């Protein structure tokens, strides 16, 4: 694919943002939400390294200059990327965005439509389901330090999707959303709003991809996930932006009584990528599983911040993040389990494991507990180490080259989390992306 002309300068242009917001005047509440985001963004400073929520992060390289939304792709460009988006053959629905423009709207089976399932672009849902959005869209505060980026996301919010699976409806096939960056210097702000009603079941696969491996872009994404009483929600989120991209991802999940929630965040792309993942458990009997997997190479920095809030008792949460590091890559994991005073009989766990495949790679871990109840089971732990010399020697004596031996051992290390994807095609897709990092390190 030919290089696309750079986007015009613009996300910090107040006049341009105001003009964008004016497009939504027919829905005053949405225009107000965007304008509030712009005012909040302007009032907040960029993060500093002495801020505890940005500890260890390279805040000196943070910059929002030189990025802008881009025009819609041409028909041939859109057709090419739609074809490359068909990653899951049994998808219940597929939506595709390119540079913030929806180029493929979902087509649902008649039986899903009859059951009241909604899977639509955010722009369409604003018009067709305003009450649903007003109740659930961006209702949770940003608690892990990304306030300024979350505010900019809100100010430029337009692209994304809404998934609503009503009470009692179970959908076995995954809903798939693919977001591409195409134009050099583009700014994109994809949003996922996932709502599962009482005893509903939904599986969602989000892929954030680049049309070219070396794509330069700014991506500020967010997700609101609401799981009602007894609902089951599984989400795979794959971050595979271009190697010159800055990525900020802010996810908020809320689980009700007896909800079962699992998520897998996989990261391979971007020059620097920050994930902020907050989960709030509001009902007893809920069970939340959070998984993270990444391969960082070159001079990449992956910054992972998590918060498990137990507001209700007799519930469980378990977190496992694994990172493999090549070259001069850096990862940061900072996770907190917070148990409120009334959340008795909480079970909460948190584990971060890092595998260093280079003497120049660096991994920092900051797991923590904040417990205000007295009848709980909570633990956290972190390990960072290199490949076992014995295992490496075993493979080398069988004629396996050093680089291949390291890759095999790293794949074994990551497989525990990869197995949690839970869908054969999606698992192979992610596995291929992880393997690709070793071949281009």
| pLDDT at residue 14 in the model | 64
Helix (H, G, I), strand (E, B) or coil at 268: coil
Q: In this predicted structure, what is the pLDDT of residue 317?
A: 98
Cβ pair 211, 240 in contact under 8 A? no
Nearest to 422 by CA among 247, 284, 232: 232
**What torsion do the CA atoms of 10, 12, 16, 20 make, to the nearest 10 degrees?**
100
Residue 91 phi, psi (nearest 5):
-60, 140
The three-state secondary structure class of 31 is helix
Based on its alpha-carbon atoms, the radius of gyration of the chain, rounded to whole angstroms, reads 21
Secondary structure percentages of the chain, helix, strand, coil, to 5: 25, 40, 35
Q: Which residues contact 415 (CB under 8 A, 6 or more apart)?
A: none
Q: 318 pairs with which residues across the strands?
A: 289, 349
Residue 384's DSSP bridge partners are: 354
Neighbours of 216 (CB within 10 A): 22
Q: Is 343 exposed, middle or buried (0-12, 13-18, 19+ CB in 10 A)?
A: buried
- CA neighbours within 13 Å on the CB side: how many for 223? 28
The DSSP string of 332-354 is: EEEEEEEE-TT-TTEEEEEEEEE
CB atoms closer than 10 angstroms to residue 316: 18
pTM of the predicted model, to two decimals?
0.94
| Cα–Cα distance measured from residue 397 to residue 326, given in angstroms and rounded to the nearest whole number | 23
Tokens linked to 234: 């599984």
One digit per residue, the tens of pLDDT, for the chain of length 441 reads 455 555 445 788 766 676 677 666 667 899 999 999 999 999 999 998 889 999 999 898 888 999 999 999 999 999 999 999 999 999 999 999 999 999 999 999 999 999 999 999 999 999 999 999 999 999 999 999 999 999 999 999 999 999 999 999 999 999 999 999 999 999 999 999 999 999 999 999 999 999 999 999 999 999 999 999 999 999 999 999 999 999 999 999 999 999 999 999 999 999 999 999 999 999 999 999 999 999 999 999 999 999 999 999 999 999 999 999 999 999 999 999 999 999 999 999 999 999 999 999 999 999 999 999 999 999 999 999 998 888 888 888 888 988 888 888 999 999 999 999 999 999 999 999 999 998 876
Q: Are 357 and 387 in contact (CB under 8 A)?
A: yes
Tokens of 43: 């009032």
Which residue bears the tokens 């971050």?
A: 239
Nearest residue to 164 via CA among 130, 119, 124: 119
The pLDDT assigned to 1 comes to 46
- ∠ CA 97-100-101, rounded to 5°: 60
Neighbouring residues of 114: CB distance < 8 A, sequence distance ≥ 6: none
d(CA 294, CA 357): 13
Contact between 437 and 411 (Cβ < 8 Å): no
Q: Tell me the torsion sign for CA atoms 79, 104, 271, 326.
A: negative
Spatial distance between the Cα atoms of 250 and 273, rounded to a whole number of angstroms? 11
422 Cβ contact partners less than 8 Å away, ≥ 6 residues apart? 203, 234, 262
Rounded Cα gap, residues 59 and 138, in angstroms = 26
Cα distances (angstroms) measured from residue 133 to each of 25, 29, 128, 130: 16, 10, 10, 5
pLDDT in the model for residue 248: 98
Looking up tokens 């696969």 gives 205
For tokens 């902020």, what's the residue?
276
């Amino acid at each position: 694919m030919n290089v696309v002309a750079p986007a015009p300068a613009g996300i910090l242009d107040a006049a341009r943002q105001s003009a964008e917001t004016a497009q939504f005047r027919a829905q005053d509440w949405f225009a107000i939400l965007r304008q509030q985001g712009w005012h909040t963004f302007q009032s907040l400073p960029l993060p500093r390294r002495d801020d505890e929520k940005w500890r260890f992060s390279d805040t000196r390289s943070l910059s929002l200059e030189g990025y802008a939304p881009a025009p819609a792709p041409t028909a041939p460009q859109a057709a090419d990327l739609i074809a490359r988006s068909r990653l899951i053959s049994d998808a219940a629905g597929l939506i595709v965005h390119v540079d913030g423009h929806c180029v493929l709207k979902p087509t649902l089976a008649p039986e899903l439509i009859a059951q009241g399932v909604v899977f639509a672009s955010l722009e369409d849902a604003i018009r067709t389901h305003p009450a649903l959005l007003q109740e659930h869209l961006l209702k949770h505060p940003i608690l892990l330090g990304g306030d300024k980026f979350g505010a900019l996301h809100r100010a430029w919010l337009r692209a994304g999707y809404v998934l609503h699976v009503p009470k009692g409806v179970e959908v076995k096939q995954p809903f798939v959303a693919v977001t591409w960056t195409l134009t050099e210097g583009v700014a994109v702000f994809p949003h996922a709003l996932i709502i599962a009603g009482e005893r509903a079941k939904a599986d969602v696969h989000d892929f954030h991809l680049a049309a070219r491996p070396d794509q330069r872009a700014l991506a500020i994404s967010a997700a609101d996930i609401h799981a009602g009483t007894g609902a089951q929600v599984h989400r795979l989120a794959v971050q595979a932006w271009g190697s010159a991209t800055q990525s900020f991802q802010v996810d908020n999940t809320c689980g009700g009584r007896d909800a079962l929630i699992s998520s897998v965040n996989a990261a391979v792309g971007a020059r620097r990528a920050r994930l902020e993942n907050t989960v709030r458990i509001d009902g007893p009997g809920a069970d939340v599983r959070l998984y993270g997997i990444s391969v960082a190479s070159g001079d990449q920095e992956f910054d992972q911040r998590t918060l498990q809030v137990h507001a209700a008792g007799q519930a469980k949460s378990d977190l496992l993040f694994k990172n493999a590091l090549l070259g001069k890559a850096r990862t940061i994991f900072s996770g907190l389990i917070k148990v409120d005073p009334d959340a008795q009989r909480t079970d909460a766990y948190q584990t971060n494991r890092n595998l260093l495949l280079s003497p120049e790679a660096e991994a920092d871990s900051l797991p923590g507990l904040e417990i205000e109840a007295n009848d709980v089971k909570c633990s956290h732990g972190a390990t960072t180490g290199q490949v076992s010399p014995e295992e490496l020697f075993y493979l080398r004596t069988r004629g396996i080259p050093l680089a291949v031996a390291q890759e095999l051992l790293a794949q074994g290390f990551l497989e525990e989390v990869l197995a949690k994807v839970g869908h054969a095609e999606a698992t192979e897709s992610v596995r291929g992306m992880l393997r690709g990092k070793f071949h281009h390190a």
